[in-house]
Amino acid sequence: MFEFFNQPEVIKTIVTIGSMALFFVGLFGLLTQKHLIKIFMSIAIMETALFLLFIGLMYKKSFLAPILSDGQTGFTNMNDPIPHAMILTAIVIGMAVLALGVSFAIEYYKLTGKTNIDEMTSLRH
């Protein structure tokens, strides 16, 4: 019964639906939450959805990871290495940028004692 899930169309559909669902979980959090750090967490969840979409769309059954190991002679029947390479760097950059945002939030809290974005009206007056 699991052969059904190994068809490439089914895999791509599942990956697309799942990552879009995760993306909209993050978007829902971004729209409904007011705590600054929760908003950054929502952005991180949306990032994760994109990583899963990129990696999952390039998955092909019976294709190997693009690493030459014992018993293999050439780079045939291997998955596309480009999404792996791009997501590899995107994860690290996303983490660093998230840390930068959180540090802004910490510094703002130290200065004003506010974490609710509705109260951040310093520039309005």
Kindly tell me which residue out of 74, 121, 123, 125 binds another protein, with binding defined by CB under 8 A.
Answer: 74
Closer of 91 and 122 to another protein (Cβ): 91
Q: Between 89 and 124, whose beta carbon lies closer to another protein?
A: 89
DSSP class per residue in 114-125: --BTTS--TTT-
Tell me the residue type at 49.
A
Nearer to another protein, 5 or 34 (CB): 34
Radius of gyration of the chain (CA): 20
Tokens 């908003």 correspond to 39
CB 52 within 8 A of CB 18: yes
> Which x/- pattern over 29-48 shows residues binding another protein (rule: CB under 8 A)?
--xxxxx-------------
What are the backbone dihedrals phi and psi of residue 95, each rounded to the nearest 5 degrees, phi first?
Answer: -65, -45
Closest CA to 101 of 88, 85, 117: 117
d(CA 42, CA 28): 8
> Mask of contacts with another protein, 83-122, x by CB under 8 A?
xxx--xx-xxx-xxx-xx-xxx-xx-xx-----x-xx---
Residues binding another protein (CB under 8 A): 8-9, 12-13, 16-17, 20, 24, 27-28, 31-35, 57-58, 65-69, 74-75, 78-85, 88-89, 91-93, 95-97, 99-100, 102-104, 106-107, 109-110, 116, 118-119
